[in-house]
Amino acid sequence: MIISSFLEELAKIEEQLSKQANSSRDDLEKMFLSSNGLFTLISKQITELDPNDRKTAGRSLNQLKTAIEAALAASTSTNAKDKRWIDLTMPGEQPTVGHIHPISQAMAEITGIFERVGFTRVRYPEVDWDWYAFESLNMSPSHPARDEWETFFVDQKADLEKGQVVLTPHTSNGQVREMERLGEPQIRMINIARCYRRQQDVTHTQMFHQFEGLVVDKGINIQHLKGTLDYFAEQFYGPGTKNRIRPFHFQFTEPSFEVDFSCHICSGTGEITKDGRVEKCRFCKSGWHEVGGCGMVHPNVLKAGGIDPDVYTGFAFGWGIERTYTLKKGLEIDDIRLLYSGDFKFLEQF
Ligand code: PHE
């Protein structure tokens, strides 16, 4: 082959290339660079040239190669047929974003409500000594009141002074621990922790959470307790929510009460009017929801915590977060176990 016809061939290929400005990258690659592409074939012919002409031929080949590469590069961003073309204006794929579990949301909300009025959030062991869970709370080892708490005992050697190890059945174990931590009052504690009891049905789970309030200072009385509960009711359940306390018995408070909140569906009346007829409210049946206990701290509990009951008085309250939360307006969850089902269809609603 002579150099002039080689260069003529090259010129033709270059002309072809200039006509292919709108081709896709795949087409360009196939036409010029594949095993029988125009560039591949012509570059093989270089061996057929006179060795003196190869340098000129090589330079021209390189120029063509550069032009082909430029065409390929341009095709990626301008040719709609090319698969590698990206539309930067297209909305991206949304990654799934998780959220905080409803019970953790409730704990944060409760913590915030009490912190705003000067309480401090604390945490105490969820596996604790009998002493803190019962005995320091005025329940001697054989006291029948203990039955209420359906305790899980841990298989471990008992301590001579502090007794057996238990899974905390309530957050009241934090009461004496907080007195020990602070020494001299004032105490304004909000203790939130996991609790465990041998019970499981639509309103109980074996593991649940409680929050416990404890206030100890000079001159604390029932009005402070009631005022704090009123404040919580309105903050957590919304303006207009009422609460009432009913006489009850706990070993660690005297006097003791049970705490009810008014039902938001029937506004505490126990009745709703549907299609002109008066019906019993199905959510509460009585106008009220019972949630937990409270009372004035028993002098023996203050003594167990090293506080002089002749100088200081206090109140305490405590109940389950799950139960409190499921009564919230708009939730009305009738099976507490759903909260721990791990069912996304349920959890994604919060
Ligand atoms: N610890 C009690 C319970 O779990 C509730 C309670 C707390 C009662 C504080 C009085 C004072 O039932």
Structure confidence at residue 205 (pLDDT)? 86
In a domain, 92, yes or no: no
In a domain, 272, yes or no: yes
In a domain, 88, yes or no: no
- Is residue 309 within 8 Å of 253, Cβ to Cβ? no
What are the residues facing 215 on neighbouring strands?
A: 188, 315
Mean pLDDT in each 10-residue stretch from start to end of the chain (350 residues)? 91 90 84 92 91 92 92 68 73 88 95 98 96 96 89 94 96 98 96 94 88 98 98 94 96 97 88 87 87 97 97 97 88 83 86
Task: Please tell me what DSSP assigns to residue 36.
Answer: T
Dig out the tokens for 152 from the structure. 């899980």
Number of C-beta neighbours around residue 126 at 10 A = 15
Same domain for 56 and 192?
A: no
Mutate which of 137, 147, 170, 228 for ligand 1? The one with the most ligand atoms within 8 Å of its CB, which is 170
**Ligand 1 pocket, residue 292 CB under 6 Å:** yes
Domain harbouring 107, CATH code: 3.30.930.10
Give the whole-angstrom CA distance, residue 64 versus residue 56: 13
Structure confidence at residue 84 (pLDDT)? 65
Give the whole-angstrom CA distance, residue 268 versus residue 264: 7
Ligand 1 center to residue 101 CA distance, Å?
25
Dig out the tokens for 227 from the structure. 């005022």
**Ligand 1 pocket, residue 146 CB under 6 Å:** no
Same domain for 230 and 278?
A: yes
Ligand 1 atom with the smallest distance to the CA of 195 is 4
Structure confidence at residue 20 (pLDDT)? 85
Bond into 255 cis (ω within 30)? yes
Segments forming the whole domain that contains residue 44: 3-74
Same domain for 158 and 9?
A: no
Same domain for 65 and 146?
A: no
Same domain for 286 and 328?
A: yes
Name the closest-CA residue to atom 9, ligand 1: 317
Q: How far is CA 150 from CA 193, 194, 251, in A?
A: 17, 15, 16
Same domain for 283 and 149?
A: yes
Give the whole-angstrom CA distance, residue 53 versus residue 333: 90
In a domain, 138, yes or no: yes
Structure confidence at residue 266 (pLDDT)? 87
Ligand 1 center to residue 318 CA distance, Å?
5
Same domain for 225 and 291?
A: yes
Q: φ, ψ for residue 32 (rounded to 5)?
A: -110, -35
Q: φ, ψ for residue 231 (rounded to 5)?
A: -60, -45
What's the predicted TM-score (pTM) here? 0.73
In a domain, 255, yes or no: yes
Q: How far is CA 332 from CA 204, 283, 317, 326, in A?
A: 15, 8, 23, 6
- Is residue 234 within 8 Å of 240, Cβ to Cβ? yes
Residue 222: exposed, middle, or buried by beta-carbon count in 10 A (0-12, 13-18, 19+)?
middle
Amino acid at 118: G
Length of the chain: 350
Same domain for 117 and 22?
A: no
- Is residue 229 within 8 Å of 243, Cβ to Cβ? yes
Same domain for 135 and 52?
A: no
Structure confidence at residue 88 (pLDDT)? 86
Q: How many domains is the chain built from? A: 2
Name the closest-CA residue to atom 4, ligand 1: 170
